[in-house]
Each structure stands twice: as C-alpha cells, then as structure tokens.
Amino acid sequence: MAEKRIYEVVFIIDPEAGDDEVMRLSEAVQKIITGLGGSITKTEVMGRRQLAYEINHKKDGTYVLLEVAGSGAEIAELERRMRVNDQILRYMTIRVDEDRRRADKLKARRARKAAKQPGSKKKQSAADADEMEEGYAA
C-alpha cells in the first residue's frame, strides 16, 4: 500500500441543517474515509460562522474540520460524494504532511543554530553555577 499522507478536509454545511443533521453528515463522511482504509486523527465541528461571501444565497454555515491519514483514494471518493451532496455548500482538502515535515526541519535547524551560539544560552541555575565553580577549583 502507498505511504499514508495527512490531509485536512474542511467542509461547510447548509445553515438550515439541524445539529443532528450536522452530526449525521459528519459521521457519514467519517464512514466513507474509514471504509476505504483511511483513518481519522482529528474531528472538530467548528460551529456556525458567517461566510465571507454568499453561497447559494446563504450568509452563514456550519464548519467541520477533519484530519485524515490515508493514501489519496479516500480523498478522491470523499470529494466526489461531497460534490453531489446538496447540504455541503463548499469543501476544501489540503495535504499537510509535507508542510509539517518542512516546518519540523526548520524548527530543528533553528534549535541547532541556537545551541551553537554562545550568547543564546539560557541563564544557568544556581546549582549549575556551583557545579561549575567546583569543577574550576579542582
């Protein structure tokens, strides 16, 4: 099987849908992903928010965020089904594993640089200072 990739999927549900309908749609999306071999690492219903612009004469919608680990076939099927669902106003899928890997590399590089610079070390505690003095005395 191909390497697992991490995706963030955000979709906006019609504001006329009730809370139970939002949960049903969210669970249906999760079943699609898990049924095709993917796994969901995070689910967040962000609630009703105002849209930046009208979509189908609607001014607000319920936002749902999913973090998905999978190969990509799940995402293709998920997007196909969201495209034909009338209650989902918009959706967006972003692959985030490469960006996170790049950010981790930069963070590690900055930490190494900071450790090399003598002026950037944190102040030593009194116990560390005492140990240093004992080392010099010997």
Question: What pLDDT is attached to residue 119?
Answer: 65
Q: What is d(CA 26, CA 137) in angstroms, rounded to the nearest whole number?
A: 68
Averages of pLDDT over each 10 residues, the chain, 138 residues: 81 90 91 90 90 91 92 88 91 87 84 79 48 48
pTM value is: 0.70
Q: Bridge-partner residues for 7, per DSSP?
A: 68, 95
Question: What pLDDT is attached to residue 125?
Answer: 47
**Helix (H) or strand (E) segment spanning residue 59:** strand 58-70
Question: What pLDDT is attached to residue 112?
Answer: 86
Domain with CATH 3.30.70.60 in the chain: 5-95
Question: What pLDDT is attached to residue 89?
Answer: 92
Question: What pLDDT is attached to residue 109?
Answer: 85
Enter the tokens of residue 123: 């102040």
Architecture label for domain 5-95:
2-Layer Sandwich (3.30)
